[in-house]
Amino acid sequence: MAVNSLYGGIGRALSHPGYCLLWWSNGTNTTGRWLFKVSLGWLTWEMTGSPAWLGIVAFADTFPMVFMTIIAGAWADRIGHLRIMKMSQVLVVAGGIITAILALLGLLNIYFIIILSVVVGASEAMTIPARMSFVHHLVPKTDLSAAIALNSATYNFARFLGPALFGGLIQFVSIPVIIAISAGMFSIFYVALFFQQADKRDHTTDGKTKLILELIEGFRYAYTNSGIFFLLFLLSVTAILMRPYIDLVPGISDQIFDMGAEGLSILLSATGLGAMVGGIWLARRGKTEGLTKVFTWSLLISALAMLLFVMSDNIWLGSALIAIVGMTIVAGSITSQTLIQNTVDPKVRGRVISITAVLAWGLPAIGAALMGWIAEFLGLSVTLAIGAVLTLLLWLWGHKAGNRLKTMLENEDIAKEKKSKTLVEK
């Protein structure tokens, strides 16, 4: 009874064998992905000692998602969700194995790291739309919300578990061995896909849709809807000013706390744990009312926590503060997604949500490259502090604008009225 009140329909979602298989195998894959990402980040830092190279590697890993996710969504509709997952995941596995072999042979240099990061990042991006859509085929509509929520919670748990696993393994084995372990975790998901059955609805389409025109229409709608534009604008700016910190943590651990790989594991685990707590809290909260306030206040709290973090010199105080940063950034992401889905016209919902996904994955990659370059001249502490201060200034505007727009964003009836007016004007 207590479990049901805490987790809602998650138990029912896991009662469906296909979804249960997808959930745990993809959870293993995502944990391996973070293990792979942290390993390459630390290897990059050992090779170069440069925040700029950390930013470049993070950019190479993440930025392909901006382009590939849009293409992958169209391809998945044309050739089938399960088929595109199999095709993409075999490239992820191959990229992981090649990286491990080069590392074990001592041939992995910074240029190979960048190339292989692009390959693995782009291949993983190809699986994302298909993986999200495939859930609809594995559970009935009544359990869909719980299944999607469980996927989100699992992703954030993997953000905690992957770095924690790295911190434990690095005490006993070398980084090349850890990379090989991550490649094995990629393989588990790939093998599990062969035990899935494509649903009858998982069919190809004629492929003649006007993809570019539809995307332009989605961007136009997002720009002309004041509430959605407000959310997307704040998400975009904070994605550049705040979220890149996670890709710079290897340098932060070494330069600010002088703790190396152990500090890296502690800080990444803390931020992942904070993100997971934020996700669970919002899942339990379960209502739209007040989410605009949660969204805007999360900006303020994350910026203040980041400022305190860069001024701290104790790893445990720093980990507590970075957990707050992780929690509030995830809270901002979840609340914005909920408010957008509450406001957006159903006819363009998929396209607007895809825009938020592109912003969420692409802009932090640009921010990481930019902040890594700036940190070469100003240092990581000053660079992160500048981002936090700019976010505080942004909050002064965002807090007032949020109060003005919260009725439209949170009230379903008024939101529908606004949407109707927007469509009539067009």
Residues 123 and 95 sit within 8 Å (Cβ to Cβ):
yes
With respect to residue 164, please indicate whether it lies within any of the assigned structural domains: yes
pLDDT digits (tens, 9 = 90+) for 297-343: 999 999 999 999 989 888 999 999 999 998 888 788 777 777 776 67
pLDDT at 203 over 60: no
Query: Quick one: pLDDT at residue 63?
Result: 74
- Residue 415 in this model has a pLDDT that exceeds 70: no
pLDDT at 50 over 80: yes
Does 407 reside within a domain? yes
Q: Is the per-residue pLDDT at 419 higher than 60?
A: no
- Cβ atoms of 419 and 343 closer than 8 Å: yes
Does some domain include residue 101?
yes
The predicted structure's pLDDT at residue 183: 94
Pair (261, 157) in one structural domain: no
**pLDDT at residue 102 is higher than 90:** yes
> What average pLDDT score do residues 371-399 get?
90
pLDDT of residue 10: 67
Tell me the C-alpha distance between 379 and 194, whole Å: 48
Q: Are 93 and 187 in contact (CB under 8 A)?
A: yes
Whether 164 and 267 map to the same domain: the answer is no
pLDDT at 254: 84
Same domain, 147 and 176: yes
Domain extent for 231: 209-426
pLDDT attached to residue 6:
44
Q: What is the CATH number of the domain that holds 114?
A: 1.20.1250.20
- Give a yes or no: residue 158 inside a domain: yes
Distance CA 373, CA 361 (A): 19
CA–CA dist 184, 28 (Å, integer): 10
Indicate whether 319 belongs to any domain.
yes
Torsion of the alpha carbons at 192, 120, 233 and 417, rounded to the nearest 10 = -30
**Of 146, 121, 122, 123, nearest in space to 135 by CA:** 146
Cα 117 from Cα 41, distance rounded (Å): 10
First to last CA, the chain: 50
Q: What is the pLDDT of residue 418?
A: 46
Same domain for 251 and 180: no
* Nearest residue to 125 (alpha-carbon basis) of 363, 348, 350, 357: 357
- In which element (H, E) is residue 394 found? helix 380-410
Do residues 185 and 259 both lie within one domain?
A: no
Q: How far is 413 from 89, CA to CA, in rounded Å?
A: 42
The closest of 396, 389, 162 to 275, measured between CA atoms, is 162
pLDDT tens for residues 64-78?
776 776 666 656 666
Answer whether residue 113 shows pLDDT above 90. Answer: yes
Count how many domains the chain has.
2
Domain's final residue, options 152, 173, 196: 196
203 occurs within a structural domain: no
- Indicate if 179 and 228 belong to the same structural domain: no
Task: Examine the domain organization and report whether 236 and 185 are in the same domain.
Answer: no
- Looking at the fold, whether 180 and 214 belong to one and the same domain comes out as no
Question: What was the pLDDT predicted at 416?
Answer: 45
192 and 216 part of one domain: no
Selected residue with higher pLDDT from 264 and 23? 23
Please check whether residue 2 lies inside any domain of the structure: no
pLDDT at 112 over 90: yes
Domain-terminating residue out of 196, 230, 245: 196
49 confidence band (pLDDT: 50, 70, 90) = confident
What does pTM read for this prediction? Answer: 0.67
Please check whether residues 77 and 156 belong to one and the same domain: yes
Q: Are residues 327 and 381 in the same domain?
A: yes
pLDDT of residue 347: 65
pLDDT value at position 182?
94
Claim to verify: residue 131 and residue 157 sit in the same structural domain: yes
**SS3 of the chain: helix, strand, coil, percent, to 5:** 85, 0, 15
Q: How far apart are CA 218 and CA 418, in angstroms?
A: 17
pLDDT category at 214 given cuts 50, 70, 90 is low
- On whether residue 132 sits in a domain, the answer given is yes
Task: Give the pLDDT mean for 54-70.
Answer: 77
Selected residue with higher pLDDT from 421 and 255? 255
State mean pLDDT over 53-62: 84
Mean of all residue pLDDT scores within the chain = 80
Task: Specify which of 58-72, 124-138, 165-179, 295-309 reaches the highest per-range mean pLDDT.
Answer: 295-309
